[in-house]
Amino acid sequence: MSITSRLKQQLFIQAQKVVPQHRLSRVVGKIAASENPVVKTAVISAFKAKYGIDMSIAEQTNALKYSSFNDFFTRGLRTGVRQVDSDVTSIVSPADGAISQLGKIEDGDVFQAKGQKFTVEALIADPQLAQPFKNGEFATVYLSPRDYHRVHMPFAGTLTETLYVPGELFSVNQVTAENIPGLFARNERMVCLFDTELGRMAVVLVGAMIVAGIETVATGKVKPSGRIELNQHDLFLEKGAELGRFYLGSTAIILFEENKMQWDEKFKANSTVLMGEALGHTI
């Protein structure tokens, strides 16, 4: 990497540390939720052009028919464009995106990027709820701005708890993953915990810079309170069922218990994935 590129990276990281992350996200959130025709048309048109959004796979292919940028960003897909792997042993990608990392949780440590890791206890923010995953398996899926932004179930299970954890709002791209220690365990997040045929499973929806919100089917859109909030549930969701949504790009992390499943060897860091694609299988 050139000195210029390295300097740009460091400026990017330092800027995130001084910018008022939550205030900026609230401002962006108001713009994203606006149904003013002038505002939403301008924002949707600019975003669509910048990121080359493929509207042909969307349920509503006319971007300007959406009521707001949020409505556009969380758009549904046309029936049949994503197939959920039907093998009863398969564990599928919860979202369209790219694998950030996946593999073994080593004595409670989750690999983040070169030289960086975080503990599963810090991620879940509850030692007792984190215990089943201490030597389990994890996969981290990064959703870029151009991706489909609904998060689905990787395996069938009963949602038993959701745990909202307040935190920072660093960007979650590769640069920050390599330079911000414990990134995913520092950012605001919603931890969803399940009972499954494989034992415990977790899906963690991680917020990020200017992400205007996280939503789950059990809680609705999260209202940040500044404190940890634990809620009990009893909601069964099939593999591939919608679990939640991101309002702007972020990351989903899935966790399983030890010796319950294995990842397909073809998936590595930076592998692209589609929602419903088999990432691994039960053992």
The 3-state secondary structure of 83-144, one letter per residue: CCCCCCCEEECCCCEEEEEEEECECCEEEEECCEEEEHHHHHCCHHHHHHHCCCEEEEEECC
- Tell me the C-alpha distance between 151 and 13, whole Å: 27
In the block, tokens 């959130």 appear at: 29
Clarify whether 54 is annotated catalytic: no
User: Does the annotation mark 152 as catalytic?
Assistant: yes
Distance of alpha carbon 282 from alpha carbon 277, whole angstroms: 15
Q: Which of 219, 25, 221, 206 is nearest to 125 (CA)?
A: 206
Q: Where in the chain does DSSP place strands (E)? A: 90-92, 97-104, 109-113, 116-119, 137-142, 150-152, 157-165, 189-196, 199-206, 214-216, 220-221, 229-237, 242-246, 251-256, 261-263, 272-273, 278-282
Q: How far apart are the first and last CA of the chain?
A: 41
**Catalytic one of 90, 147, 152, 171:** 152
Residue found under tokens 């494989």 = 198
281 included as an active-site residue: no
- What does the alpha-carbon distance between residue 180 and residue 4 come to, in Å, rounded to a whole number? 20
Helix (H) or strand (E) holding 23, with range, is: helix 21-33
Q: Is 51 left (phi over 0), alpha (psi -120 to 50) or beta?
A: alpha
Catalytic hit among 96, 100, 147, 171 = 96
- Using only C-alpha atoms, the chain has a radius of gyration, in whole angstroms, of 18
Catalytic residues: 96, 152, 250
